[in-house]
Structure 1
């Protein structure tokens, strides 16, 4: 009995080491993602996000930003960074109330209007580590093959290319603030250290505003599990991670057996929302690309839903709570941060220039 347990433990250690190496290599190495304060446990603890932020130099004015809405107050306007959507230095002035223009700016961003190079953004899936010239081609893994990326349809929805399923529906855009993010990895209190596990995610405000796109997830967690989860097919399995932000949290050892805790966003109905942000600072070394970051409200813990009260549910499912609101308000509600672009874990999600559809 003791021998079998020892062999089992050695096998687990070997497997974790292999996956750790694969995670570091798969996307070209982990990104240097730094930050401080504003901490929370990914098990569902509070993320206060009260970090001090950075000092930002005053950008050069852009020619196409001197507009006002009727009866607007000058304090309604924010200088936002939309590097792929507007020309000049990539900054423009926009009112937080102007939901139509914010929506337009996001669509111009994903269509790379400022670059005017005939390319649009698509999103690489989790296991797709190909460059801009190849990531939209069909690829094979064992007996499976797929065009493993997401494209934006004419409405701005995110669609998986292989089966043309809408994964996330575009609901509008708001002003939000870039975040510095620090991830504490590994399990520090046990003999078995899994470097792929996430212990804490901390973030602080950068002091730079940008466009955040509100997306409603078009699949529930259970539906995604039934349709896409596969230990053998990394193409489909990546969709589950794009919905749930699944990751290993903790591994416990009681002297004889180990068991694990995982975080999965439990989307029990359609329409749970998140705010997607393009972050050039986390582009895994690919010029002209951007990291896929998500700021989202969530009241679950681990893979459970005890925090899904009638009072909390609207904040997780109703985009109208956020549309047309100041970023100082919305950022307080978006208490969690997900880095889908995470080279350390081999997560290759990335906004990358490519062709339509």
Structure 2
């Protein structure tokens, strides 16, 4: 770890030369954001930069983004800290004395509008918004009033052509459903027993995050800054058990992909576009987001995204082998809580959540090319669609 405590303002200039410069977030999205004391929107509270200043104690997330940083203290104001990273990240760009309230977008959760105001500290309300979205409480159509997720290969066309995605196909029910408590089950069983519902992800909380957009090379490091609510899930099946129970099982192999996310996006330039996330036990967490931007343009449907913190050394050949077991290179006692403890994200400012959620998987493929890279998720057809419960 490169971590130096420097008591000199002069070194700020040196750091500025050594590390890259800031870049203001370019966003036309103005429907969500932090609210000021008068209830007016404050947008662009994220900035793509390599430095951030704190007037009090350093928050834990700021020291877990990367191991490669410098801490600069102002010798005249000992409580003033500036953290300077080697690489740019999306970091908070908050006004002085910000309120607790944000306007967020939660499609299908609220009748008459996608938008709602909520305090980031109001955990019960944020959880309920996620559950209401799953149940499509605010949907105008009441023909089918919950979201279910079709599995990877269960793609028959547009949703109105494929309302039977929950029917038995090739001897299995190839979809996921949300229980009333938010837990996520796969209906089609495993290789040994296709007549059982299997818990694959356990709902443990919710938090405010922003949407990511798939589709261009820029999106490998870009965010929308448009706030929404995501459900925090623990793995109910670890990646090695998933490999045994689902991989090589035809259509149900999609369950393995849904847990292992073997073709997952890298946040940082210079990292591999593909890596295997080594969720070797059921303590690991991710934030699931139902994304209107990643739905392949299908009416009334939402793409399925996973955002999560991950610190494995994904450039290592050893890391990306199947069946890895601890110790995993890059996992430390310091960063492990951000991969396993949901409480760190709840009642936390979304700007801080964004800073530490450094990985993602777009489970709904976009069928596009990303610059010189083939879209690594193009064969994934997971999609949240209007359906029936269970």
Name the SS for the 2:346 alignment partner: coil
Q: Give the alignment partner of residue 88 of structure 1, picking from 94, 112, 115.
A: 112
TM-score by length of 1: 0.69
Deviations 1:220-276 (A, max 9, x none): 11111111110xx33221011000111399xxxxxxxxxx99622111111211111
Residue 180 (1) aligns with residue 213 (2) = yes
Q: Which residue of 1 aligns with 2:375?
A: none
Name the SS for the 2:99 alignment partner: helix
Q: Give the alignment partner of residue 108 of structure 1, picking from 132, 138, 141.
A: 132
Mapped to 2, the partners of 1:351 and 1:274 lie a distance apart of: 17
Residue 336 (1) aligns with residue 336 (2) = no
User: Cα 1:329–1:135, aligned 2, differ >3 Å: closer, same or farther?
Assistant: same
Residue 246 (1) aligns with residue 262 (2) = yes
Mapped to 2, the partners of 1:281 and 1:100 lie a distance apart of: 26
Mapped contact 2:304–2:362 kept (Cα < 8 A): yes
Q: Which residue of 2 aligns with 1:52?
A: 25
Q: Which residue of 1 aligns with 2:169?
A: 139
Mapped contact 2:31–2:103 kept (Cα < 8 A): no
Name the SS for the 1:174 alignment partner: strand
- Greater helix content: 1
Q: Which residue of 2 aligns with 1:127?
A: 153
User: Cα 1:238–1:201, aligned 2, differ >3 Å: closer, same or farther?
Assistant: farther
Q: Give the alignment partner of residue 203 of structure 2, picking from 163, 170, 179.
A: 170
CA apart distance, 1:74: 7.4
User: Cα 1:51–1:154, aligned 2, differ >3 Å: closer, same or farther?
Assistant: farther
Q: Give the alignment partner of residue 227 of structure 1, picking from 245, 264, 268.
A: 245
Mapped contact 1:126–1:238 kept (Cα < 8 A): yes
Mapped to 1, the partners of 2:135 and 2:227 lie a distance apart of: 20
Q: Which residue of 1 aligns with 2:93?
A: none
Q: Which residue of 2 aligns with 1:160?
A: 186
Q: Which runs of 4+ in 1 moved over 4 A?
A: none
Mapped contact 2:208–2:230 kept (Cα < 8 A): yes
Mapped to 2, the partners of 1:50 and 1:153 lie a distance apart of: 42
Deviations 1:260-316 (A, max 9, x none): 996221111112111111111221232000000111111122526201221121110
Mapped contact 1:181–1:204 kept (Cα < 8 A): no
Q: Which residue of 2 aligns with 1:236?
A: 252
Mapped contact 1:122–1:152 kept (Cα < 8 A): yes
Q: Which residue of 1 aligns with 2:287?
A: 275
TM-score by length of 2: 0.64
CA apart distance, 1:97: 0.2
Any stretches of 5+ residues in structure 2 without a counterpart? Answer: 1-21, 33-38, 40-96, 190-196, 266-271, 368-377
User: Cα 1:51–1:308, aligned 2, differ >3 Å: closer, same or farther?
Assistant: farther
Any stretches of 5+ residues in structure 1 without a counterpart? Answer: 1-48, 60-65, 67-72, 185-199, 250-259
User: Cα 1:126–1:50, aligned 2, differ >3 Å: closer, same or farther?
Assistant: farther
User: Cα 1:53–1:178, aligned 2, differ >3 Å: closer, same or farther?
Assistant: farther
Aligned residues: CA RMSD? 2.5
Mapped contact 2:308–2:358 kept (Cα < 8 A): yes
Deviations 1:74-103 (A, max 9, x none): 710000001110122310100000000000
Mapped to 1, the partners of 2:263 and 2:24 lie a distance apart of: 25
